[in-house]
Structure 1
Amino acid sequence: MASTLNRYLAREVLLSWLAVTLVLLFILLSNQFARVLGDAAAGKLPRDAVMAIIGLTSVSYLTVLVPVSLFLAVMLALGRLYRDSEMSAIAACGVGPLRIYRPIGVVAFILALLLGWLSLYASPWAVAQAEIITESARQKAGLGALEPGRFRTSGAAGIVFYAESVDDQGMLRNVFLQRRLGERVEVAVAQSGEIVNGNNGGERTIVLRDGHRYEGTPGTVAFRIIHFGEHGIPIIATAAGASGSGDREGRPTASLLKSSALADRAEFQWRLSAPVSAMLLSLLAVPLARTNPRQGRYGKLAIGIGAYIVYANLLGAAQVWIEQGQVPPLVGMWPVHAVVAFLAATLLWRQHHLRAPA
């Protein structure tokens, strides 16, 4: 009986988890797909990189989706059993609330192991790969993949560019370039030019030769006209030296562990919180799913969603507090996890002493 019940409950939870995960992932990827397609249509991304970006993004999304989808799956699966009075029949066979945790705990533990691998290893790798693809596309969008006879723009550098022709060596002929310098505008017209990569790959420059440069403020007559033999204009600078949150999210976990920076410690705590929250949310979902048949399958789903939102926001706040030094890294997010664990234990204790389910 016990093994049959365990398999039955585990199957119900797994099927619900798979359905919820696919639905949530589809919703998130639909929005991402539209944005990536827009970037590809605007020339900011190569078309052949669209599916790669979507695939890499889905890995990152799973680290966020798995805990909440498991939480909702347990509530939906048990909610259906309460609605159909199957939990009453299970209780009549002498199965108490603690026994319900056994198959759910096994499912949650397996998914938490998978989530730990995703959060600590796969997701940072996916973020780093997506950044490499995006940065490469950004460099190409910075006039590197220009088409002769067509105007191109580089949003990062604020440049409008045109070349009548390009030879096999990459030499541009009859070049027009306009860029904004604050309130001023610079227009350059040259007989020839070429795009030169920096030595460290961090900056690309267009070098114009034998031309004129017009510089001034629109609406005024105070324009300067300068003839030049050679004039270099930077068109893109990469973010190789940046240390923003996007770069941190793509750093290997081992690198974060070696760092003493508070922001790196906070990022590690955030990654570690994914499998921990999956386990705790699955435990919390069991007592929260308790309903009577008249409430239906979704009777307490709103309460569960509200509890998850509070939990997720507290984890986000704890990450910020660690970055700002308001919470020691050793303490980290563990107090938030402890509150959820205490809440789950309290609800379970109350349910256990009520004996028969409603």
Structure 2
Amino acid sequence: MIIRRYLVKQVVSTSVVVVALLTLIMMGGRLIKYFGVAAQGRLDASVLFSIIGYRLPEFLTLILPLGFFIGLMLVFGRLYTDNEMAVLNSSGLSRNHLARLLIPMTAGVMAIQIALMVWVGPWGVYKFEQLTSAQAVRTGFDLVRPKEFVSSGPYTIYASDLSEDRKNLKDVIFYQRSEQDNKPDLIILAREAKRVEIPNDTANVVDLLDGRRYEIYQGQPRYSQAEFKSYRLRIENDKESSIGSSAINAVTIGKLWAKRDDSVVQSELGWRVFGPWVIVIALMLATALSEVNPRQGRYYKLLPAILIFASLIVLMMAVRTRVSRGDLSVWLYPIVLVAYGVITFIFLRNPNLTPRLKQKLSR
């Protein structure tokens, strides 16, 4: 059908532009953050764009519904302002009929959203976790820069000079902050430090030469001192944290289903199963909220409509958080979707309801 092809072309082209613009804005800020981390030496600059690529599917799960909704609002708004909707209505095509013509396209967008949330997004998070775990090994002496104090977790390290292969350091100052109240802080001063390579060991091991070792108790007037000719120091990397919200994003849906009794798993399962349905709500909301007077302009209702649709996404994310804590049931996901759908359906069935509400509110 000519009208369907015309609408699909307009909506797809507009939505792609909006999604690209939103992605550029969101990922641009994230890229600047990673550049800052790389400038501090905590991240290899060569993996920056790989990290952005792996995080992109996760961001698209939120950007795609919003971009699709804005694209619908812009296209329907232009139909009203250019009087094309009046021509279509006079030909027997109502706004609801036009929305039904876009159902196949909406199903395609929903399929993309399902693929992002169920498969591509978790795969990207998994690869991102792998990459950042590999970079996390670059701790301790890997971060040292000449004549700068560098902190990594409880460690602070200083060296006046280091070799090109980063295996020999000169005039080393090492400080380790105690993580327990009854344990002392550790300060080591050494003339030289040599890296020691140990197979299958991710820790940083160094031999310190000609130095002194101090143990200082915080808030207490006591310390201990020892001199050494050679002292082997082992700096452990941070232990992997237990499964949390960031790790659960990388788990496949099959493994999630096997552990569906856990509240965190239920939250993630509900998000992946019910989250794509916001695409359907986007079509219904855009159809109901896009009607404008040609004199008002196509952007007259755009911001209020975006706020209404954004409230749906925010509410779904709030449900996700509360379900993960065990405060709410996972069935609140479909309840929220049905509530928005029913209210939107009422406005679609009664086009004159909005003007009557405005009159009552003004009175």
TM-score (norm 1): 0.86
Q: Which residue of 1 aligns with 2:257?
A: 257
Q: Does 1:162 align with 2:198?
A: no
Q: Residue by residue, what CA displacement relative to the aligned partner does 1:192-239 show, whole Å, maximum 9, x if unpaired?
A: 4435679675x5555546642023369997442123554434342142
Separation in 1, partners of 2:250, 2:196: 30
Matched, 1:303 2:331: no
1:27: how far off? 0.7
When structure 1 is superposed on structure 2, of 103-112 and 173-182 the one drifting more is 173-182
1:134 and 2:135 matched: no
**Long gaps (5+) in structure 1:** none
Further displaced range: 116-125 or 133-142: 133-142
SS in structure 2 of the partner of residue 333 of structure 1: helix
Distance (whole Å) between structure 1 residues aligned to residue 322 and residue 51 of structure 2: 31
Counterpart of 1:79 in 2: which secondary structure?
Answer: helix
Q: Is the 8 A contact 1:172 1:192 kept in 2?
A: yes
Q: CA deviation at 1:63?
A: 0.6
Counterpart residue type for residue 19 of structure 1: V
- Per the alignment, residue 178 of structure 1 pairs with 175
3-state DSSP of counterpart to 1:236: coil
Mapping of 1:131-280 within 5 angstroms? 131-144=129-142, 146=144, 149=146, 151=148, 153-162=150-159, 164-165=161-162, 170=167, 175-181=172-178, 185-190=185-190, 191-194=192-195, 201=202, 204-206=204-206, 208=208, 211-216=211-216, 222-228=222-228, 230-239=231-240, 241-259=241-259, 260-280=261-281
Residue by residue, what CA displacement relative to the aligned partner does 1:79-114 show, whole Å, maximum 9, x if unpaired?
A: 011011100000111112332123322221101101
State how many pairs are aligned: 348
Q: Over aligned residues, Cα RMSD in angstroms?
A: 2.9
Letter paired with 1:308: F
**Identity over aligned residues, as a percent?**
22
Cα distance in 1, alignment partners of residues 199 and 210 from structure 2: 22
2:10 and 2:75 in contact (8 A); partners too: yes
> Aligned residue for 1:76?
74
CA–CA distance in 2 between the matches of 1:125 and 1:335? Answer: 29
CA pair 168-111 structure 1, distance change in 2 beyond 3 A? closer
Give yes or no for contact 2:57–2:124 (8 Å, CA) kept in 1: yes
Mapped to 2, the partners of 1:250 and 1:346 lie a distance apart of 39
Secondary structure of the 2:102 match is helix
Secondary structure of the structure 1 residue equivalent to 2:175: strand
Task: Judge which range, 101-110 or 64-73, deviates more.
Answer: 101-110
Q: Give the C-alpha shift of residue 345 in structure 1.
A: 1.1
Of residues 91, 99, 102 in structure 1, which corresponds to 2:100?
Answer: 102
Q: In structure 2, do the counterparts of structure 1 residues 338 and 219 end up closer, same or farther at CA, with 3 Å as the change threshold?
A: closer
Cα distance between partner residues in 2 of 1:301 and 1:92: 25
Residue of structure 2 aligned with 1:114, choices 112, 115, 121: 112
Unaligned runs of 5+ in 2: 355-363
Please say if residues 161 and 171 of structure 2, whose CA atoms lie closer than 8 Å, have aligned partners that are also in contact. yes
Q: Which residue of 2 aligns with 1:341?
A: 341
1:213–1:26 CA distance, 2 compared to 1 (3 A)? same
Change (3 A) 1:152 1:353: closer
| Cα shift at 1:174 | 5.8
For the residue of structure 1 that corresponds to 2:43, the secondary structure is: coil
CA distance in 2, matches of 1:169, 1:151: 15
In 1, Cα distance between equivalents of 2:207 and 2:264: 40
**How far, CA to CA, are the matches of 1:54 and 1:168 in structure 2?**
29
For the 8 Å contact 1:108–1:282, the answer to whether it is kept is: yes
Shift of 1:344: 2.0
With 62-71 and 179-188 compared, the bigger mean Cα shift is at 179-188
* CA–CA distance in structure 2, aligned partners of residues 198 and 243 of structure 1: 28
What corresponds to 2:3 in structure 1?
A: 5
Aligned residues of 1:204 and 1:237 also touching (Cα < 8 A) = no
Shift of the 152–18 alpha-carbon distance from structure 1 to 2, 3 Å rule, reads same
Q: Which amino acid aligns with 2:327?
A: Q
Q: What one-letter code is carried by the residue in structure 2 that aligns with 1:301?
A: L
